[in-house]
A = this chain, B = another copy of it.
């Protein structure tokens, strides 16, 4: 059994603790939170876990094999670094760190220490994204042309991060998993319409090195909730609508072809069948905790490893920089990290 120490029992921590206790190879060894009330709630749900108000004490505890960090973003770096230095495996909430530099320091430290560093990009572990990834790997979609995501709803306004760091981060993580080509540049514009709160609306265009384009439309001030991703490929196309109760992923055998003879000068269309595969209904967070356990046991990289987390932070940083230049594209090439 892998003994988990959990830092932070606020909004997301309880979900992690539950998943750890439901997974086969992990157990909640300790829970640390500065709030007495949070610890009380933790004790009721996890009576066999030891509780402490000191995260450093938990990190130092010899009976803790791995640490999960579910604290505010600005604390991720210090806590993750301390855990790595203590020789613990680490799963850290998204985004991994506030800056690419700090994210890279964590990757390098985990590398040197030989521990697993994983980022909690939960969406990657959904049945929908896993199915899309396997369709792409099998070549059924063909060359990827575009990724188009609409991720809008009313609230919840964050106080510390804007809508890009809150919502676009999910698409960055999903794209990092799906695309083999890497983003070359990002153009982003943002606007805020509620005084005293961060930008609530943003549009981002990501230019991939192979010519593909992604576009993200994120907004906290939409009257309706939309979670829709269109993926266009040379062979087939995908619509992934996460608001549906079933048939979330639809694959369309549709497309257009360039004229094949010099005399035929019209674009031809293909209008074939649509197919909605059955998706795994296993909870994403449970799959993720099992992946963390597997990576620790087998010693290889998890699907959402530190390098991927670093790439996502780089994209976030580039997007933020672009918004300050009214959409001027920010190059990712020079600072890019090989996977």
Residues of A at the B interface (CB closer than 8 Å) are 44, 47, 145-146, 148, 150, 152, 154-155, 157, 159, 185, 187, 189, 191, 193-197, 200-201, 203, 205, 207, 211, 213, 215, 217, 219-225, 230, 232, 234, 237-239, 243, 245-247, 250, 252-259, 265-267, 269, 271-278, 326-329
- How would you classify the secondary structure of chain A's contact residues: helix, strand, loop or mixed? strand
- Quick check: B271 and A247 within 8 Å, CB to CB? no
Closest residue on chain B to residue A187 by CB atoms: B327
Chain B residues near A185: list those with CB within 8 A: 326
Distance A255 CA – B223 CA, assembled complex (angstroms): 7
Question: Chain B residues with Cβ under 8 A from A220's Cβ?
Answer: 256
**Which residue of chain B has its CB nearest to the CB of A45?**
B44
With A148-B217, A258-B195 as known contacts, state yes or no: A155 contacts B237, CB within 8 Å. no
With a cutoff of 8 Å between Cβ atoms, the chain B residues found around residue A154 in the complex are 254-256, 269, 271
**CB <8 Å contact, B256 and A221:** yes
Q: Across the two chains, which residue of chain B brings its CB closest to A253?
A: B278
Query: Which of B193, B211, B246 contacts A224 (CB under 8 A)?
Result: B246
Nearest Cβ in chain B — how far from A189, in angstroms?
Answer: 5
Q: Do the beta carbons of B252 and A223 come within 8 Å of each other?
A: yes
Check A329 against B329 for contact (C-beta < 8 Å).
no
CB-defined A-B contacts under 8 Å, sample of 7: A145-B201, A146-B201, A195-B258, A221-B256, A223-B274, A275-B275, A328-B328
Are A239 and B223 also in contact (CB < 8 A) when A157-B267, A256-B154, A258-B197 are? yes
User: Contact: A194 with B257, CB < 8 Å?
Assistant: yes
Q: Residue A217 contacts which of B217, B238, B259, B266 (CB distance < 8 angstroms)?
A: B217
User: Given A205-B327, A232-B223, A328-B328, A157–B256 Cβ distance below 8 Å?
Assistant: yes
Max chain B C-beta neighbours (<10 A), residue from A47, A145, A185: A145
Partner of A196, one of B223, B252, B259: B259
Kindly list chain B residues whose C-beta atoms are within 8 Å of the C-beta of A237.
221-223
Q: In angstroms, how far is the closest chain B Cβ from the Cβ of A266?
A: 8
Given A155-B267, A195-B258, 18 additional A-B pairs, CB 8 A:
A145-B201, A146-B193, A150-B150, A154-B254, A154-B255, A157-B266, A189-B207, A189-B213, A193-B234, A196-B258, A203-B213, A221-B237, A224-B239, A224-B246, A247-B274, A273-B276, A274-B276, A328-B328
